[in-house]
Amino acid sequence: MKKTACYVHIPFCDHKCIYCDFYSIITSDNISNYLNAIKKEIEYYSNIYSIDRELFTVYFGGGTPSLMNPAYIKEIINHIKNKFNVSVNAEITLETNPGTVDLNKFIEFKKAGINRISVGIQSFDKEELKFLTRIHDSETAADTINKAKQAGFENISLDLIFNLPGQTKEKWMYNLQRAVELPIKHISAYSLILEKGTILNKMVIDGKVKMQDEDYDAELYEETIDFLTASGFNQYEVSNFALPGYECIHNKAYWDYSEYLSFGTSAHSFLNNKRWWNYSSLKFYIAAVEKMNYVVAGSEELSHEQMMEEYVMLALRGEGLHLDKLENLFGNEWKNSNNEYISDLIKKGFITKKNNFLKFTSKGYALCDEILSNMS
């Protein structure tokens, strides 16, 4: 059976943060109708893909999935398990925001089938949380992690954002120190990125906020790698760090160029060399699924060259590129075209090569986007 990842988008939120560009809505309308639509879409695709596929990870993202009643999430999990072959030990993740879950709710989520929790903390600093328009404080953030642990979750992750306007190195290192003192197994550390259409983007355009420069961003990033590595966390992707054995299986599915099937508003899928994506509008999604059982806004068939480029990019951003595997899948074209450039990167200390395996160094990770853009 083909191993396939699964993503479920829950768009409901209690607040829209200034930096967020994911599809989310601040409303409780249509929550039950959305559940029915999700289940219909799951059933539709199960009739096409369930026979020869096994789902080895299910990820609930948003939005704020932890706003939902645990019974709501349980109904979706059970429906997926009824319609698809799901691995017995499948990783099932729920994105969580501090302040939306208490101990009892965590216990119920665990009973529902969730076995991994990802908490969007972003910062432990009061002023940074205020700037990001997060609705929690640092005490609530830490308490959320501890409550998840108390409920029996061993696999707990948290998200942090660095290079905020005016953020000092001392303040960022304080965030990292607070994070590793908590009972977590995984950290996602993202640089603040301006996304079109966000409130933050407009604030920058209007001159109300000034972003810090790329060199400072790179300095913070390298210090992040050094600190987390020294704290026992293995970097397995540009922004992701985990204690040994706790790498996010769902994240790795993307970096390993595995296939994935996604459900809900704005969800993207990738199967059989084809990528497609759903409409974002909640009401349009529900109406279309009720009528046709699915709702696809667009799709594309990937060429050999596109797949090769994506495979290389994702592998290098992740744990590294096996040249032998690349050759088996796509031939020698990429290796021959980039051989001289790769040799130069190795000499400059941006990439290491061992047993025909290429991997970014911490210095290389800091410039990975620029390096990848120069590859032919």
* DSSP calls for 242-296: E-TT---HHHHHHHTT-EEEEESTT-EEEETTEEEEE---HHHHHHHHHHHS--E
Phi then psi for 358, rounded to 5 degrees? -100, 135
Collapsed DSSP state (helix, strand, coil) of residue 104: helix
| pTM score of the predicted model | 0.93
Domain locations in the chain as residue ranges: 2-255, 321-373
- Whole-angstrom distance, CA of residue 281 vs CA of residue 196: 18
Distance of CA 194 to the CA centre of its chain: 17
- What pLDDT score was predicted for residue 207? 73
- What pLDDT score was predicted for residue 23? 60
- What pLDDT score was predicted for residue 275? 97
Sequence-separated (6 or more) residues with CB below 8 Å from residue 144: 96, 98, 99, 101, 119, 121, 136
Closest CA to 306 of 269, 273, 260, 336: 273
Place of tokens 């450039």: 341
- Whole-angstrom distance, CA of residue 159 vs CA of residue 163: 14
Distance of CA 282 to the CA centre of its chain: 21
b or e along 194-217 (b: 16 or more beta carbons within 10 Å of the residue's beta carbon)? eeeebebbebeeeeebeebeeeeb
- What pLDDT score was predicted for residue 307? 94
- What pLDDT score was predicted for residue 135? 77
What secondary structure letter does DSSP report for 173? H
pLDDT in tens, the chain (376 residues): 899 999 999 999 876 655 556 666 777 789 999 999 999 999 999 999 988 899 999 999 988 999 999 999 999 999 999 999 999 999 999 999 998 999 999 999 999 999 999 999 999 988 888 877 777 788 999 999 999 999 999 999 999 999 888 889 999 999 999 999 999 999 999 987 766 766 666 666 777 667 777 888 889 999 999 999 999 999 999 999 999 999 999 999 999 999 999 999 999 999 999 999 999 999 999 999 999 999 999 999 999 999 999 999 999 999 999 999 999 999 999 999 999 999 999 999 999 999 999 999 988 888 888 999 998 7
CATH fold for domain 2-255:
TIM Barrel (3.20.20)
Collapsed DSSP state (helix, strand, coil) of residue 52: coil
Count of all residues that appear for the chain in the document: 376
Q: For residue 222, what are the CA distances in angstroms to 162, 215, 354, 364?
A: 12, 11, 23, 10
- What pLDDT score was predicted for residue 94? 98
- What pLDDT score was predicted for residue 18? 56
- What pLDDT score was predicted for residue 53? 94
In this structure, are residues 5 and 250 in contact, taking their beta carbons and an 8 Å threshold?
yes
